[in-house]
Amino acid sequence: MSGGHVKRSIRLPANLSRRLADHALARNTSQAAIIEAALESFLSPDAAERLEAALARRLDRLARDLGRLEWHVELSNETIALFIRNWLNAMPALPDSARDEVRAQGRERWERFVESLNRRMELGPRFRNEIAQDKAGAPHLDRTRQP
């Protein structure tokens, strides 16, 4: 025995052995060094705390990602609901001779739509709340309509 090392023989499943060899090749180190580092980490007294801390960081990141995703889904729902409401309320049948006027009205309606969407995302009401009120038969104020 040289250098204070003890020789051990272990058997690994073929797929784990391949992964170990690939990892060692990618890291340009020996398989024994990787196994030694893994065992040292696994057997260290603070291994459970480090694992818990890593898990907590991952869960925090996932919670933030889900919060952003929820906001984007809500934005999409509000956009579609507001667009449909405005489109249904403001789509009169226009003759072909009024094309320029129709385009000007379209631009104006688009600007009002974007302003209304921005206002709803900042202040409310939310579409899901309006649906609940509609189902309950309660009247609600539509803050998106211009007087």
The pLDDT tens digits of the residues spanning 88-147 come to 788 776 677 777 888 888 889 889 988 988 888 888 777 777 777 777 775 555 544 443
pLDDT for 55 equals: 92
- Do 80 and 111 reside in the same domain of the chain? yes
Query: What is the mean pLDDT of the segment spanning 74-100?
Result: 82
> pLDDT grade, residue 30 (50/70/90)?
very high
At 2-13, the pLDDT tens digits run 568 888 888 999
In a domain? residue 73: yes
- pLDDT at position 17, please? 93
Residue 59 resides in a domain: no
Is residue 35 in some structural domain? yes
- pLDDT value, residue 2: 55
7, part of any domain: no
Same domain? 75 vs 37: no
Q: Which domain holds residue 103?
A: 66-136
Domain co-membership, 71 together with 118: yes
Residue 146 lies in a domain: no
Asked whether residue 109 is assigned to any structural domain, the reply reads: yes
Q: Is residue 61 part of a domain?
A: no
Predicted structure pTM score: 0.37
48 compared with 63, residue with greater pLDDT: 63
Domain co-membership, 33 together with 74: no
In a domain, 76, yes or no: yes
Residues 6+ apart with CB under 8 A from 121: 74, 75, 78
Q: Within this chain, do residues 74 and 128 fall inside the same structural domain, yes or no?
A: yes
Q: How many CA atoms lie within 13 A of 105 on its CB side?
A: 11
Q: pLDDT above 70 covers what percent of the chain?
A: 90
- Domain count for the chain, please give it: 2
**For 4-137, where are the alpha helices, taking DSSP H only?**
14-27, 31-43, 47-90, 99-123, 127-136
Same domain as 100, residue 38:
no
77 shares a domain with 32:
no
